[in-house]
Structure 1
Amino acid sequence: MTISFKERVKGVLITQAQIYNERFLNKEYLIHSNKFKYNLFYIIAAKKDNFLHLTGVSTNLKANDFFDKCLNETLIEDDFDIRDSQQKGSVRRKINSLPFAFNLFNGQRILVEENFIKNCISCSFASSDKNCTLGFTHTKKAKPQTLLKGNELRNPISVDVIAVKNEGEELFNIVYVSNKDINLEQFPIKLK
């Protein structure tokens, strides 16, 4: 039995909302590279409404309600739309990239680029694991803004520190450090 494209999209959105909830919501990530020019580090603090931006679908639902329906597995095909073949191609690329996007900061080697621009999208920075590129907003605490298939970074640099904390905690816990010569005392990180 073959399933329709919208049914497949719905399944991916429901599955990925669970992972987004687990890995991004109520957490903050600190990302540092010794090669950053504009900031010592960036802090990522995703919210529910950012999930919709990463899917490519259209909906009449508010972004928070859309996420809640995905998370609660009550999303139905009538809750979202894919208007034309161009949007269908975009949605296809995004649903294939979502699983990679939510694993970007789990301690593996990733690349970043400050002041990332792609077409009409401008981001404070973007990260890539070569499977996808995740761009972030120009805000004090960056939020996921866009998701692209593959590595779209033009001037990639390596990440030297990744740290995470639960929202409300004061200090970050180290997830990844590229080398022992990095001065971790310059970050709001728990030192062991």
Structure 2
Amino acid sequence: MAKCKNVDIKTAIKIVTEAAKQYDVYLNDRHFMVVYQEGSEQKYVKFGFRDMNFLHLIGIKTTLKAKQFYQACLDHKLAEKDIVGFTKGSTQQKLSVLPHLSKIFYNNCMIGYSIDNGVYL
């Protein structure tokens, strides 16, 4: 059985399964744009989320293909035997923020100098 520092495998499965449900509702097959300013130049970055990206986000090594893993999470069929390891050093961090990921693009967020910066939405 694979181990993750400070998180046992059953807890990891619970976190991942719940996160997959949220990912499916709020992120899967959606695109987002983040507008920011660098110096006097306005820039943007686009983000797109697909079912096959979910596995990469969480840092778990599995015998399942990315889409199979995602579907197993949604169907509550992910089992301990499906998990063979964790990405070195980052899985713990990913699991700690995963429950918040689906909400990140649904909040108004301005960081830094945002008043009268010329960016209008």
TM-score when scaled to structure 1?
0.51
Deviation at 1:106, TM superposition (A): 1.5
Please name the residue that 1:91 is paired with. 91
Name whichever structure is richer in strand by fraction. Answer: 1
Question: In 2, Cα distance between the equivalents of 1:69 and 1:38?
Answer: 44
**Which residue identity does 1:64 align to in structure 2?**
K
Unaligned runs of 5+ in 1: 112-157, 161-177, 185-192
Question: In 1, Cα distance between the equivalents of 2:110 and 2:59?
Answer: 24
Question: In 2, Cα distance between the equivalents of 1:43 and 1:69?
Answer: 28
Please name the residue that 1:68 is paired with. 71
Indicate the SS of the match to 2:22.
helix
Deviation at 1:21, TM superposition (A): 1.0
- Contact kept? 1:104, 1:110, Cα under 8 Å: no
- Contact kept? 1:31, 1:159, Cα under 8 Å: no
Aligned residues: 115
Unaligned runs of 5+ in 2: 1-6
Please name the residue that 2:23 is paired with. 20
**Which residue identity does 2:109 align to in structure 1?**
R
Deviation at 1:92, TM superposition (A): 2.0
- CA deviations over 1:110-169 (Å, ceiling 9, x no partner): 66xxxxxxxxxxxxxxxxxxxxxxxxxxxxxxxxxxxxxxxxxxxxxx596xxxxxxxxx
- Could you say what the CA RMSD is over the residues aligned between the two structures, in angstroms? 3.0
Deviation at 1:179, TM superposition (A): 5.7
**Which residue identity does 1:18 align to in structure 2?**
K
**Which residue identity does 1:55 align to in structure 2?**
I
1:182 aligns with 2:119: yes
Indicate the SS of the match to 2:76.
coil
Question: In 2, Cα distance between the equivalents of 1:159 and 1:32?
Answer: 13
Once the two structures are superposed, the pairs formed by residues 1-192 of structure 1 within 5 Å of their partners are 5-35=8-38, 40-82=43-85, 87=88, 90-109=90-109, 158=112, 181-184=118-121
Question: In 2, Cα distance between the equivalents of 1:159 and 1:73?
Answer: 44
- Contact kept? 1:33, 1:41, Cα under 8 Å: yes
**Which residue identity does 1:182 align to in structure 2?**
V
**Which residue identity does 2:98 align to in structure 1?**
L
**Which residue identity does 1:31 align to in structure 2?**
V
Shift of the 183–15 alpha-carbon distance from structure 1 to 2, 3 Å rule, reads closer
**Which residue identity does 2:91 align to in structure 1?**
V
Deviation at 1:96, TM superposition (A): 0.8
